[in-house]
């Protein structure tokens, strides 16, 4: 089955486009969590964030920043705050496997709830050890 987001990028599937350029586009989520829910994605098919090159990732984030700012100035959209969310992998809730960043307007009394099970706070040496391991992996 063809990737629906590739189809949107190619103009072969319908989408309500907010912004587009030669590298990325922003469009309305077809099934919004709140009104004004926008997705930003690269034109090229990358499955997840870790498949994407940094130039593309930076560009996607730059567009997301501009959309986020704009949402606050649209009269029809209640935007008192936002969440930016990216699902990478099915385990993280990804259902469309063409990398995309959600921009979700939030307002007082909306029905969005993020719930995280509270783990016990690790000791400092455990955090230090993980920080070192991640730092090493970044090189
Ligand atoms: P995710 O769980 O991060 O993979 O989310 C995929 C998102 O894509 C969901 O919020 C869907 O509502 C949205 N979506 C799926 N198909 C389309 C489409 N054709 N146009 C716009 N948004 C879509
Ligand atoms: Zn795709």
Give the domain ranges of the chain.
4-111
In this structure, the residue with its CA closest to atom 13 of ligand 1 is 29
- Other beta carbons less than 10 A from residue 104's beta carbon: 22
Residue 117 has what pLDDT? 85
Q: Are 105 and 36 in contact (CB under 8 A)?
A: yes
Tens digit of each residue's pLDDT (9 = 90 or more) over 6-21: 999 999 999 999 999 9
Which of these CATH numbers, 3.40.50.300, 3.30.70.890, 3.30.428.10, 3.40.640.10, describes 4-111? 3.30.428.10
Residue 115 has what pLDDT? 87
Q: What angle do CA 77, 64, 137 make, to 5 degrees?
A: 140
Model confidence, pTM? 0.96
Q: What is the DSSP letter of 19?
A: E
Q: Check if 95 has its Cβ closer than 6 Å to any atom of ligand 1.
A: yes
Residue 1 has what pLDDT? 75
Q: Are 36 and 29 in contact (CB under 8 A)?
A: no
87 Cα: distance to centroid of ligand 2 (angstroms): 15
Residue 86 has what pLDDT? 98
- Residue identified by tokens 């209640």 is 78
Positions in the chain short of pLDDT 70: none
């Amino acid at each position: 089955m063809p990737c629906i987001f590739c189809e949107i990028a190619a103009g072969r599937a319908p989408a309500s486009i907010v912004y587009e350029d030669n590298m990325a586009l922003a469009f309305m989520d077809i099934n919004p969590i709140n009104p004004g829910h926008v997705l930003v994605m690269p034109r090229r098919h990358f499955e997840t964030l870790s498949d994407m090159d940094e130039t593309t990732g930076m560009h996607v984030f730059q567009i997301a920043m501009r959309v986020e700012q704009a949402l606050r100035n649209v009269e029809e959209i209640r935007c008192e705050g936002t969440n930016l969310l990216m699902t990478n992998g099915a385990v993280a809730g990804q259902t469309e496997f063409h990398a995309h960043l959600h921009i979700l307007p939030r307002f007082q009394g909306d029905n969005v709830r993020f719930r995280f099970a509270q783990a016990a706070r690790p000791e400092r040496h455990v955090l230090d050890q993980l920080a070192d391991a991640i730092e090493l992996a970044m090189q």
